[in-house]
Amino acid sequence: MYNILIAKYGEIGVKGKNRYIFENKLIRNIKNMLKSVGEFNVYKEYGRIYIDVDDSNYETAIEEVRKVFGVVGVCPAIKREKDYELLKETALFLLKNKIEAGNKTFKIASKRGDKSFHLTSQEMSIDIGGYVLTGINAMEEEMYTSAKVDVKNPDVVITCEYRNEHILVYADSVSGFGGLPLGTNGKAMTLLSGGIDSPVASWLVAKRGVDIEAVHFHSYPFTNERSQEKVRELAKILSKYCGPIKLHMVNILDIQKAIAEKCNEEESTILSRRFMMRIAQEIGKKRYCDALITGESIGQVASQTMQGINCTNAVVEIPVFRPLIAMDKVDIIKTAEEIGTYETSIIPEADCCALFSPKKPVTKPRLERLEKSESKLDVEELVKSAIENSTMEVIEF
């Protein structure tokens, strides 16, 4: 029945003279997303993005296209040659299918893309509505004849478009994630742990058109390789939305040992966090990243108090994006479930943060005290060594 998908975008429509740049990027991203399920013709006509499909693949294609950042909705539609009488016949055909699916009330909505057509959009709706109502009333089965028009709260809206090149008829719209096309807003380095928060934070920033790379900190062999595999799996899930992700694996065991030996125990978590930020920034600069991304939320753990966040900010120069900063945990979990990272994130594996976790971590650290503690360490050499011994791999879905 359906032979085309309409990929609808939101913010791109207000980009003015630069809109074509975002549209072209969105088309490329849709094509890339669909590569894993088959060959599809993706193209643009007068501010609309279309994907040619058929009955065998349109449902699979919808599920993939809705994941592309920038797409707010995907409509399976029937496209036919430009003919008004054919438009009315197609509307009746689709309405019959929707009635058979259990819908009992309907409404006709029309759009006149061809402004030279003699009927206005409202006049088209009245005319097509009368045509389809007459058509279903002429049928013998009660399920058709009992169907009624309801312009305020219909079970189904049949949208009919009379455009310059063709006609379109559709009724359904599958919601997308919205945002902006990936690759239109620079690149950032995300600090990716094995928990719930950082994958969600990474996804949210990527949704704004930002390309991401990731850095993961581990303490092998004090933590096992399964914790690293868990992070690789999270990166793989994210790559479905974000494209291939370069994952930098950094062992900070020597840093944590040095902190444990020479610094106050209650400061160990926040000191480790400051080292992670330094390392992430240095790797990010080498990879042409313009910002860092973290999964911090105010007050969630001891190192994420206002004072703790200020102390970690103090060691970096580039911006730090914290999209979860004011979100409740239940909302973060909801997003994690929606994007498919939650089940992997809750797999119990030890991470580097828990390894040297103090019994009573400082919750209101003072910057001057942290800097005094760090003066006991060879900060520059520890950072340099960790980066030199790091590895990088490409993760893709």
SS3 of residue 6 by DSSP = strand
The alpha helices in the chain, defined as continuous H runs, are 19-34, 58-65, 84-100, 121-137, 142-145, 197-206, 225-242, 253-262, 268-286, 306-313, 329-339, 342-345, 352-355, 367-374, 379-388
CB 319 within 8 A of CB 200: no
User: Please, which residues have CB within 8 angstroms of residue 19's CB and are 6 or more apart in sequence?
Assistant: 12, 13
Known binding residues = 191-192, 216-217, 273, 295, 304
CB 284 within 8 A of CB 321: no
As a whole number of angstroms, the distance between CA 275 and CA 281 comes to 10
Known binding residues for ATP = 191-192, 216-217, 273, 295, 304
Place of tokens 């976790």: 357
How many Å is the Cα radius of gyration of the chain? Answer: 27
Neighbour-count burial of 154, counting CB atoms closer than 10 A to its CB (0-12 exposed, 13-18 middle, 19+ buried): middle
CB 5 within 8 A of CB 40: no
Place of tokens 């971590």: 361
Peptide linkage before 221 cis (omega within 30 of 0) = yes
SS3 of residue 204 by DSSP = helix
Which candidate, 354, 344, 340, places its Cα nearest to that of 231? 344
Sign of CA dihedral 58, 63, 65, 66: positive
SS3 of residue 322 by DSSP = coil
End-to-end CA distance of the chain: 31
